[in-house]
Structures are given as structure tokens and as C-alpha cells.
């Protein structure tokens, strides 16, 4: 279980650019299922993920994962427990390394290794087995540099790399946003298969309301760093969500003007 308690974050404090993104924010996330985080641009979704993964340090509050206080660990230590896939298909992979090298690095994540020992001990059979499960033919391209893969192939590879060590938490930050609708569906289906087969606690940010309803168990909407909706996906439709979403943002714009 992920337990976020009394989290606060202000960027550029005590300057004219000061921006309070979270103020006393709390949230509990259930294990082994996918929870979607929705919300307008700039409402704090990625900041929340970055505070969980440790690339942004929260000012106050605690982030506990299965009882472990993440806020006390540096980013590289948290990486042992957290898998992350971002919107940019080149981010979760090393583009100039080949598929085998990328997968070998993913397998060793959180452990000390040298490049030599990495390649010597790389578990090719396991890597081939995992790639075959993706069903994209990547197992036949082990020595292909990842920069030559398509966006969808790279995101699928990133997803596999992020989950191969069975993380305690998987963070998906708009991981299908850069993909065409067909490829996006393929990657979302792979995501669902991996989460349900491996039972991985997942938080997914998306602006795709259909994916939110179809692929997650719970839907949370944020606005200005606060939870404005928290429902089970089975209890809401894409249309209702769209309506709420628009109202929420409109209401916000009205307040601002
Ligand atoms: N590292 C940072 N330094 C300064 N400000 C930041 C930083 N990261 C985020 N912000 C600010 O915090 C606010 C929330 O940004 P965030 O990226 O979390 O939004 P988001 O909900 O992920 O939006 P989007 O849907 O556009 O991805 C924004 O105003 C942004 O400018
Ligand atoms: Mg974002």
C-alpha cells in the first residue's frame, strides 16, 4: 500500500514566482491494482509522481510504500522499489544501447554492477522469454540499438524494463500519450496484462478518459493539488467523467477571471 500523508510542496518559495503545488495533501493507494490520476495541465500530477520517485523532494509530509518511508531515501535507492514509464519514448531506455543491453541493465537495477559483469552474466534466456511475452518480435532484435525502434516498441520495452524486477509501485506518466491510437491500445493492453499477471500496484496519469475507465479500478481527479473526485471506474462513464472534468476546469477558470 502507498500512503501519502500531509504532503506539501512549494516551488520558488519566498520569491515572486512562488508556487504552492501541494498543501497538506494525503492519499492512500490500494495494492495490486491500477489507479488512474486525472486532472488539468499543471495541477500537480507529475510533481506528485516526482516526489514519490524522489526526483523532486517534498517540503513536508511522508510517503510510505509498504511501510517503508520513501522520503528518507535518495532517488537511486527508491528506484529499487519503483518502476517508472514517462510520456517520452526515449526516456525509459538508453537509445544508443541495444535491446539486450537495455534489458540487462533493467534486470540489475538497484544492484551494483560493472558493464563487463553485466554483459557476462546477462540472463539472455529470461530476457528472450520476457520479450516474447510482449509479442512484438523484439526477441529477434536483441542487438538492435533501441533508437531504431518505433515509439510503440520503445514504450513497450520501457514498460517491460520498468516491471521486470516486480516493483512495489509502477508509475505511468502519460505513457501512451505520444502513440497513435492503435499502438496506444497495444501498449495499454500490455500494461493491463503485466499489472494483472504480476500483481503490480500501479498509478497511471492519463488525459485519455476512455483509458481511465477501461483500464483502471479507481479514478482520482486532481485540481490545484487537491483531490476533487475519487470513484471506482465501474461507477462512472467516460461521458460523465468528461462532463465533470469540463465543469471542474470551467469552474476553475471562472474563479480565476
Ligand atoms: N521542477 C520544477 N520546478 C519548478 N516548478 C515546477 C517543477 N515541476 C513542476 N513545476 C510546476 O508545478 C506545477 C505542476 O506541474 P506538473 O508538471 O506537476 O503538472 P501536471 O499536472 O503533470 O501537468 P500536465 O498534465 O501538463 O503534465 C506547474 O505549474 C509547473 O510549472
Ligand atoms: Mg505531467
Q: What is the CATH number of the domain that holds 221?
A: 3.40.50.300
Structural domain includes residue 172: yes
The domain total for the chain is: 1
Whether the per-residue pLDDT at 128 is higher than 90: the answer is yes
Residue ranges making up the domain that contains 191: 2-92+167-256
Which pLDDT tens digit goes with each residue over 38-95?
999 999 999 999 999 999 999 999 999 998 999 889 999 999 999 999 988 777 789 9
Q: How far is the CA of 210 from the centre of ligand 1 (A)?
A: 24
pLDDT at 252: 67
Three cell numbers, residue 130: 520476457
In a domain, 115, yes or no: no
pLDDT in tens, 75-91: 999 999 999 999 887 77
Model pLDDT, residue 131: 94
Substitution site in 18, 46, 48, 221 for ligand 1 pocket (most atoms within 8 Å of beta carbon)? 46
pLDDT digits (tens, 9 = 90+) for 169-214: 999 999 999 899 988 999 999 999 999 998 999 999 999 999 999 9
| Confidence (pTM) | 0.92
Residue 220 counted as domain residue: yes
Q: Percent of the chain beyond pLDDT 90? A: 74
Helix axes 151-163, 124-134, angle to 10 degrees: 130
Look at residue 70 and tell me if it is in a domain. yes
Q: How far apart are CA 133 and CA 111, in angstroms?
A: 25
In a domain, 81, yes or no: yes
112 inside domain: no
In a domain, 143, yes or no: no
13 Cβ inside 6 Å of ligand 1: no
Asked whether residue 200 is assigned to any structural domain, the reply reads yes
Cα separation, 104 vs 118, whole angstroms: 7
Amino acid at each position: 500500500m502507498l500512503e501519502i500523508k500531509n504532503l506539501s510542496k512549494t516551488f520558488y518559495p519566498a520569491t515572486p514566482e512562488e508556487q504552492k503545488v501541494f498543501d497538506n495533501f494525503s492519499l492512500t493507494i490500494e495494492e495490486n491494482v491500477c489507479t488512474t490520476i486525472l486532472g488539468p495541465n499543471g495541477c500537480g500530477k507529475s510533481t506528485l509522481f516526482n516526489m514519490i520517485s524522489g526526483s523532486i523532494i517534498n517540503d513536508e509530509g511522508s510517503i510510505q510504500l509498504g511501510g517503508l518511508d520513501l522520503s528518507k531515501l535518495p532517488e537511486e535507492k527508491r528506484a529499487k522499489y519503483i518502476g517508472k514509464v514517462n510520456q517520452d519514448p526515449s526516456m525509459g531506455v538508453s537509445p544508443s544501447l541495444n535491446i539486450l543491453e537495455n534489458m540487462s541493465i533493467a534486470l540489475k537495477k538497484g544492484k551494483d554492477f560493472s558493464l563487463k559483469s553485466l554483459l557476462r552474466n546477462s540472463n539472455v534466456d529470461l530476457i528472450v522469454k520476457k520479450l516474447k511475452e510482449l509479442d512484438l518480435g523484439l526477441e529477434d532484435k536483441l542487438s538492435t540499438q533501441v533508437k531504431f525502434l518505433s515509439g510503440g516498441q520503445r514504450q513497450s520495452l520501457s514498460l517491460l524494463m520498468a516491471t521486470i524486477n516486480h516493483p512495489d509501485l509502477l508509475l505511468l506518466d502519460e505513457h501512451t500519450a505520444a502513440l497513435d491510437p492503435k499502438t496506444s491500445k497495444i501498449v495499454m493492453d500490455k500494461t493491463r496484462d503485466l499489472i494483472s499477471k504480476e500483481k503490480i500496484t500501479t498509478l497511471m496519469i492519463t488525459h485519455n478518459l476512455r483509458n481511465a475507465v477501461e483500464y483502471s479500478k479507481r479514478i482520482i481527479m486532481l485540481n490545484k493539488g487537491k483531490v476533487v473526485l475519487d470513484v471506482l471506474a465501474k461507477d462512472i462513464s467516460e461521458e460523465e467523467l468528461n462532463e465533470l472534468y469540463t465543469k471542474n476546469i470551467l469552474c476553475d477558470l471562472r474563479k480565476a477571471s
